[in-house]
Amino acid sequence: MNLPPLSLYIHIPWCIKKCPYCDFNSHAVKGDTPERAYIEALLQDLAQDLATYAISRPVNSIFIGGGTPSLFSPESFGRLLDGIACQVPLADAVEITLEANPGTFESHKFAEFRSLGINRLSIGVQSFQDGLLAKLGRVHSSKEAIRAVEIAHRAGFDNINLDLMFGLPGASASCSQEDLQVAIDLEPGHISFYQLTLEPNTYFHKFPPVLPDDEAVFLIQKAGQKLLAGCGYQQYEISAYSQTGHECRHNLNYWQFGDYLGIGAGAHGKITGALPGQIMRTHKPKSPEQYLQDSHANGGADAVTLGDLPLEFVMNHLRLRKGFSVAHYQAMTGLDPRTLEPALSGCMAQGLIDYGHGRYFCSPKGWDFLNTVLQNFVA
């Protein structure tokens, strides 16, 4: 059996300040972060996963997310990357992404991060307008954001992603267009353009701000898509736009139902054993304190049931503009294509899914109402 490609996700759970919209496993720094101990725990965590799942495949991409990973020192990441390379083979030209915030403290480390082999930077800008940044609880200014991207370019990063939100409290359609134009002028290879949503267990969910109505948000999104396309940024996933050759390989592996190890507090993973009955979803303890105290008891794993596999597959693949082929469905799940029925035929009859060149993919209507599409595949 040919196993899926393998990636590695690493979670750094600390940040300077918890943003009111953030539902990630992140915790505001109180005093010094336990960098050295956490790096060692990550390496123990990786060793345990490699042994548990008998993994010897090369890692094709590494994504260091958070939190704000760039709070850690280059020395800590050097120790981490060296330790990873000693435990598992890395593919040639492995993509290594680091999430970073635009604050001065973090951006002045960019050249050192690049020297370690980190070759992709994802900068959480969200907006280039100070009033909107304040409403989002961000700790950087628009000038710092622009400066950070300029520093990243000078540090040798030719693969940069900028995160931008739309549908912000008090924002008009022109605000998003202005944000996008500033981002485009900074010449990143990749832009993530996504809607602010009020997630459970966040401050904004408990105390919701006034947001633009659904129709306004829809028009903002369409206008943004048009501007990005006109400037050479192709939408290859619902919220991801890239210039040719700058698609995020790590995220593509998620969306194409590849495998990934997840290490760190609150990290999740997906590992394929024998098909179709041995696809595991792994999870690690969310509490950084618990994670550090007992790095040998890192969470657990749950098997994806055969009834849930079709939904698990399509909820990733249908985020991609090019969709999926039946052959890839069989290879990744081990299931007969008939297990996609009657949901697949029903979505095609409703004009939500199209078929062409041997692939099923969301129609423009289906992409706008993806949750409706996915409801058809719920077991």
Q: Which of 237, 253, 269 is the last residue of a domain?
A: 253
Q: What is the pLDDT of residue 298?
A: 63
pLDDT range class, residue 369, cuts 50, 70, 90: very high
Residues 61 and 177 occupy one common structural domain: yes
Rounded distance, CA 163 to CA 172, Å?
A: 18
- Section 111-128 average pLDDT: 96
Over the stretch 21-49, which tens digit does the pLDDT of each residue have? 888 888 888 877 899 999 999 999 999 99
Over the stretch 240-262, which tens digit does the pLDDT of each residue have? 999 999 999 999 999 999 999 99
- Section 343-353 average pLDDT: 97
Other CB atoms within 10 Å distance of the CB of residue 164: 22
Residues 47 and 180 occupy one common structural domain: yes
- Check: CB of residue 142 under 8 Å from CB of residue 175: no
Q: Is residue 350 part of a domain?
A: yes
Mean pLDDT computed over every residue of the chain: 93
- Section 114-133 average pLDDT: 96
Residues 235 and 332 occupy one common structural domain: no
Rounded distance, CA 271 to CA 258, Å?
A: 8
What share of the chain has pLDDT > 90, as a percent?
A: 81
Q: Is residue 90 part of a domain?
A: yes
SS3 135: helix
Rounded distance, CA 320 to CA 314, Å?
A: 10
Any idea what the CATH number is for the domain that residue 119 is in?
3.20.20.70
Over the stretch 134-177, which tens digit does the pLDDT of each residue have? 999 998 999 999 999 999 999 999 999 999 999 999 888 899 99
Q: Which of 231, 253, 275 is the last residue of a domain?
A: 253
Q: Is residue 262 part of a domain?
A: no
Residues 73 and 159 occupy one common structural domain: yes
Any idea what the CATH number is for the domain that residue 375 is in?
1.10.10
Helix (H) or strand (E) holding 263: strand 259-263
Over the stretch 50-61, which tens digit does the pLDDT of each residue have? 999 989 899 999
Q: What is the pLDDT of residue 359?
A: 97
Helix (H) or strand (E) holding 271: strand 268-272
Residues 78 and 225 occupy one common structural domain: yes
Over the stretch 178-234, which tens digit does the pLDDT of each residue have? 999 999 999 999 999 999 998 998 888 899 899 999 999 999 999 999 999 999 999
Q: What is the pLDDT of residue 346?
A: 96
Quick one: which of 258, 333, 269 has its CA closest to 300?
269
- Check: CB of residue 12 under 8 Å from CB of residue 266: no
Q: Is residue 258 part of a domain?
A: no
Q: What is the pLDDT of residue 297?
A: 59
Residues 99 and 167 occupy one common structural domain: yes
Q: Is residue 131 part of a domain?
A: yes
Residues 156 and 248 occupy one common structural domain: yes
Q: Is residue 277 part of a domain?
A: no
Residues 177 and 61 occupy one common structural domain: yes
Q: What is the pLDDT of residue 2?
A: 81
Over the stretch 279-316, which tens digit does the pLDDT of each residue have? 999 999 999 999 998 756 567 899 999 999 999 999 99
Q: What is the pLDDT of residue 295?
A: 58
- The boundaries of the domain holding residue 336 are 306-379
Q: Is residue 352 part of a domain?
A: yes
Q: Is residue 293 part of a domain?
A: no
* C-alpha dihedral sign at 106, 186, 249, 202: positive
Tokens at 241, concatenated: 């736009």
Residues 146 and 85 occupy one common structural domain: yes
Residue 276 has pLDDT above 90, yes or no: no
Structural domains in the chain (count): 2
User: Which is more confidently placed, 18 or 314?
Assistant: 314
User: Which is more confidently placed, 276 or 292?
Assistant: 292
Residues 96 and 162 occupy one common structural domain: yes
Q: Which of 222, 237, 253 is the last residue of a domain?
A: 253
- Check: CB of residue 94 under 8 Å from CB of residue 71: no
Indicate the pTM of the whole model.
0.95
Helix (H) or strand (E) holding 103: none
Residues 237 and 328 occupy one common structural domain: no
Residues 10 and 141 occupy one common structural domain: yes
